[in-house]
Amino acid sequence: MEQTVEQKLQALWSLQTVHTKIDKIRQVRGELPIEVADLEDEIAGLETRLEKIRVDLDDLEDSIVKRKNMIKDAQSAIKKYEGQLNEVKNNREYDAISKEIEIQGLEIQVCEKRIKEAEFEIKNKTEGYDKTLSNLDFNKAELAVKQNELETITSETQIEEDALLTKAEDATKHNEERLLKVYNRLRNSYRNGLAVVSIERDSCSGCHNKIPPQLQSEIRQRKKIIICEHCGRVLVDEEIASED
């Protein structure tokens, strides 16, 4: 059965009333859900950073062990070549062995340099690790406080919100699809979520601009859907607004 304009307005107002009550409940939570989500993201990022630093530190430690073993091998090679110097038979052999000793000496210098660089990097990364770990502990403590606060607020209002959500779902079924699209677009356009508003003191209660007497009369007749010429919200008269 086709709804009358009056029934359509009443259905829209009923839906708006329920949504406004839900909005008020969620406003009590304020920015807490966003703050909790932000902290969770930040904690995940810090944990990823810590894991990367741990991997880097392990690689640096391994590189130091590798370089130290290379130094030992070079030192052993130098001792071997120095022993061979006593057995050389000509200048060519002497120069060749001396060259090998020089190469091994340079290898030791390079390894010692790389070890110092790695140790310096380990120091910096360890400091970064400690700072990141401190930030992680702080954020985890902050998250626990905010989660507890959010859970407390949510538990106090969840039953009421669930009941209102069921009511909103039922109220949605009583609205035609075309008007619902307009309603949802308007709700998303305004921070307070008001898509359907009443006349208050000869003004639109959404934007507070004056409504001409003739237009007020048409709104009260409920023969057509009338929107505020200033904010675009759907207007209903005081009597419909007092029904909920």
Residue 95 falls inside a structural domain: yes
Q: How many domains does the chain have?
A: 2
Q: Per the structure block, which two tokens stand in for 142?
A: 């902050």
Residue 133 falls inside a structural domain: yes
Residue entry with tokens 């419909």: 240
Residues 10 and 66 in one domain: no
142-190 pLDDT per residue, tens: 999 999 988 888 888 888 888 999 999 988 988 989 999 999 999 999 9
Maximum C-alpha span of the chain? 124
Residue 102 falls inside a structural domain: yes
pTM of the model: 0.59
User: Structural domain of residue 112, as residue ranges?
Assistant: 31-155
22-81 pLDDT per residue, tens: 998 888 788 888 899 999 999 999 999 999 999 999 999 999 999 999 999 999 999 999
Which of 95, 121, 155 is where one domain is finished? 155
Indicate which CATH number applies to the domain containing 230: 1.10.287.1490
Q: Give dist(CA 215, CA 228) in Å, integer.
A: 10
Q: Per the structure block, which two tokens stand in for 59?
A: 């690689």
Which of 155, 184, 200 is where one domain is finished? 155
